[in-house]
């Protein structure tokens, strides 16, 4: 079955914007209180590869660990290039998914997709 996407009306857009803002603030506050809160170089809202909604963060330390664990034989271009591992959202080590607001988000997304 094909879905016809709808444009958000102003009320739904404002609600979505507020929910996403609160989720991002919550994630950044939680992450800022962890020992991993060093050398953060990327923050992503959403997951373009899977169409899901999540907040992801990546740090230089976690990137270096990931390279040593799984990608030590990769050429520099595949690690550091624009489409390289350094910016590959699927490899980001810290992911937070909406919890409290997910019902509100799902309701808005259901309205768009139906």
pLDDT band at residue 3 under the 50/70/90 scheme? very low
Q: Which residues pair with 44 in a beta bridge?
A: 56
Closest CA to 3 of 105, 101, 103, 109: 109
pTM for the full predicted model: 0.70
- Mean pLDDT, rounded, for 30-47: 88
Residues 48 and 67 sit within 8 Å (Cβ to Cβ): no
Has residue 66 got a pLDDT over 70?
yes
Give the SS3 label for residue 70. Answer: helix
């Amino acid at each position: 079955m094909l879905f016809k996407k709808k444009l958000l009306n102003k009320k739904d857009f404002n609600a979505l914007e507020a929910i996403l803002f609160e989720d991002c603030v919550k994630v950044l506050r939680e992450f800022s209180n962890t020992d991993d809160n060093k050398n953060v170089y990327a923050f992503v809202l959403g997951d373009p590869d899977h169409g899901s909604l999540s907040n992801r963060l990546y740090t230089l330390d976690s990137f270096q660990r990931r390279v040593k664990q799984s990608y030590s034989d990769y050429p520099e271009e595949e690690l550091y290039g624009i489409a390289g591992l350094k910016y590959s959202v699927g490899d980001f080590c810290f992911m937070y998914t909406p919890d409290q607001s997910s019902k509100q988000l799902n309701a808005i997304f259901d309205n768009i997709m139906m």
